[in-house]
Structure 1
Amino acid sequence: SNRSLHVTNHYRICSLGLWTNDNVCKSIHEMYMQVKASMVTVLVIKDVVCHTKGPGFKPA
């Protein structure tokens, strides 16, 4: 599946703390934090399995 990151101003990311046990999620988390720190638009993660885990998940 396509794991590309789509930049948008809509927040659809699950709780980032739940992602640290998965390499893909960790990578996404790091990229998200870089963007957030830069005050740029929030990332939406699509087609990533760990995206749907956890109580923090916000369906699109």
Structure 2
Amino acid sequence: QALTSPTVPISLPEAPEVVGVYLDYEAGRVAFFDSRREIPMFAYPPASFGGERVLP
């Protein structure tokens, strides 16, 4: 599930072996995907990072 309020369930046909993270800092976008199958998993709504550094 995604850590949002309220939580969002994530359903995939199989558990991913490798999870990719897409970050577009300027657009305020963070998304996760199954990188082996190229399947989107979840994307947060666009947000402002307020000049903060974003770390893994």
TM-score of Structure 1 vs Structure 2, range by shorter chain: under 0.3
In the superposition, the TM-score normalised over structure 2's length comes to: 0.26
What TM-score do you get using the length of structure 1 for normalisation?
0.26
If asked which structure has higher relative contact order (CA below 8 Å, sep 6+), I would say 1
The structure that is helix-richer by fraction is 1
Greater Cα radius of gyration, structure 1 or 2: 2
Higher strand share: 2
